[in-house]
Amino acid sequence: MEYAIVKIGGKQYKVSRGLVIEVERLDYKPGEKFSLEEVLLYVSDGKVRLGKPRVNGATVKAEVLEHFKGEKLRIAKFKAKAKYRRVTGHRQYLTKIKILDILTAVKK
């Protein structure tokens, strides 16, 4: 099985060909293809290539499927015995991407 660990928006994701993942909002339009250069680890047929900090010559091709907002988080704060209560909400902007291919430059 072939997979890679990539860094997207400060977070690390384990990706493989054909996988659809949700990441924090990216500045690409739906349908647009792009490449991820921050490949931290690449595994293929039991052989592991660990980057220091990145794997040289490895890129991950991906396509933006859609932009959307995540689930609502409710944040509540209060002060005891003071009749003070505040409830706010937050919805994170997310992007759904599909991993098209994992490309590497193999040293011979």
SS3 for 17-72, per residue? CCCEEEEECCCCCCCCEEEECCEEEEEECCEEEECCCCCCCCEEEEEEEEEEEEEE
Tell me, yes or no, whether 76 lies in a domain: yes
Q: Check: CB of residue 13 under 8 Å from CB of residue 21.
A: yes
Q: 5-32: per-residue pLDDT in tens?
A: 999 999 999 999 999 999 999 999 999 9
Residue-level pLDDT at 33: 98
Residue-level pLDDT at 32: 98
Structural domain boundaries, residue 85? 3-103
The whole-angstrom separation of Cα 95 and Cα 107 is 34
Q: 75-107: per-residue pLDDT in tens?
A: 999 999 999 999 999 999 999 999 999 999 765
Amino acid at 101: D
Tell me, yes or no, whether 108 lies in a domain: no
How many structural domains does the chain have?
Answer: 1
Amino acid at 17: R
Whether residue 65 has pLDDT greater than 60: yes
Whether residue 108 has pLDDT greater than 60: no
